[in-house]
Amino acid sequence: MIEFRGVTKQFPDGTVAVAGLDLVIPPRKVTVFVGSSGSGKTTILRMINRMVDPSAGQILIDGVDIATREPVALRRSIGYVMQNSGLLPHRTVVDNIATVPLLRGEKKREARARARELMQVVGLDASLAERYPAQLSGGQQQRVGVARGLAVDPNVLLMDEPFGAVDPLVRAELQTELKRLQSELDKTVVFVTHDIDEAFLLGDQVVLFKPGGVIGQAGTPRELLENPADDFVAGFIDAGRPRSILR
């Protein structure tokens, strides 16, 4: 379980990204942060692995205040997948996946063997193992990113708009794949997106943010759809609905 207690983030230039956020992220579920740009959703995500430190308040993972944990060690214990995959361009697919285990001091042979297993788990052909990221398609790169996020078998997986830069067909494929993976792995996933459909498809819990990191509504997709808290939430959900211009 991840818990935000009165978390505020003010940047040096004075912008307040989040003010007094209280939020509980349940374990072994997918929680999706959705909101337009400037809603602070990415900042909030990055506070979980201390890429951003809060100005005030506490964040607890399984009851432990993460401010007491060494940032680099904390990050190695949490999976992280980002847009455009964030892979290391100078390392092959297996080495990218094995990166975090190697940082944690695992033996090279074991780390690479496990990386090859993970390629299978995320649906990557074994023949791609020695390729460099630039030699893969966008969808394949994203799969490598997911495999890397899972490499140390973390309890928590952070996903920062991971499917934002791939075309709709590939995105649908990756979404289905993630749902399948999650049903097998049961991670605590925190997923950031600006796409409300993606949020409803993937989220067990959806947290819709208003600008400035204010929670518009948090609940299951059904709750948000059937009982939107206010006009902002209803409007955000409605804006995502495709409507025909040929009426």
Partner 1 sequence: MTWLQENWRQLVDYGLAHVWLSIPPIVIGFLVSLPFGWLANRYRVSRGVLLTLGGILYAIPSLPLFVLLPSLIGTKILDPLNVEVALTIYAFALMLRTTADGLASVDGDVKLSASAIGFGGWRRFVEVELPLAGPVLLAGLRVVSVSTVSLVTIGAVIGVNSLGFFFLDGYQRAFFSPVWFGMAGTLLIALVFDGVLVLLGRLLMPWTRSRRGPRARKYGAAQARVAVTSR
Please report, as ranges, the residues that interact with partner 1 according to CB under 8 A: 46, 49, 51, 72-73, 75-76, 80, 82-84, 86-91, 99-100, 103-104, 132-137, 148
Identity of the residue, 55 or 83, whose beta carbon is nearer to partner 1 in the bound complex: 83
Instruction: Count CB atoms within 10 A of the CB of residue 206.
Output: 26
Identity of the residue, 34 or 152, whose beta carbon is nearer to partner 1 in the bound complex: 152
Q: How far is the CB of 15 from partner 1 (least distance, A)?
A: 19
Identity of the residue, 29 or 91, whose beta carbon is nearer to partner 1 in the bound complex: 91
Q: How far is the CB of 84 from partner 1 (least distance, A)?
A: 6
Strand, helix or coil at 16? strand
Q: How far is the CB of 72 from partner 1 (least distance, A)?
A: 5
CA torsion 39-6-190-104 (nearest 10°) is: 120
Q: How far is the CB of 193 from partner 1 (least distance, A)?
A: 17
Residues 6+ apart with CB under 8 A from 54: 7, 8, 9, 18, 47
Task: Describe the crossing of helices 108-121 and 138-150 by its angle, rounded to 10 degrees.
Answer: 130
Identity of the residue, 5 or 91, whose beta carbon is nearer to partner 1 in the bound complex: 91
Tokens found for residue 154: 């973390």
The phi-psi region of residue 84 (left if phi > 0; otherwise alpha if psi is between -120 and 50; otherwise beta) is left
Percent of residues in the chain assigned helix, strand, coil, to nearest 5:
40, 25, 35
Q: How far is the CB of 51 from partner 1 (least distance, A)?
A: 6
Identity of the residue, 31 or 99, whose beta carbon is nearer to partner 1 in the bound complex: 99
- Going by the DSSP 8-state scheme, the letter that residue 37 receives in this structure is T
Identity of the residue, 29 or 131, whose beta carbon is nearer to partner 1 in the bound complex: 131
CA distance to 104, 120, 228, 242, per residue, from 160 (Å):
23, 23, 25, 24
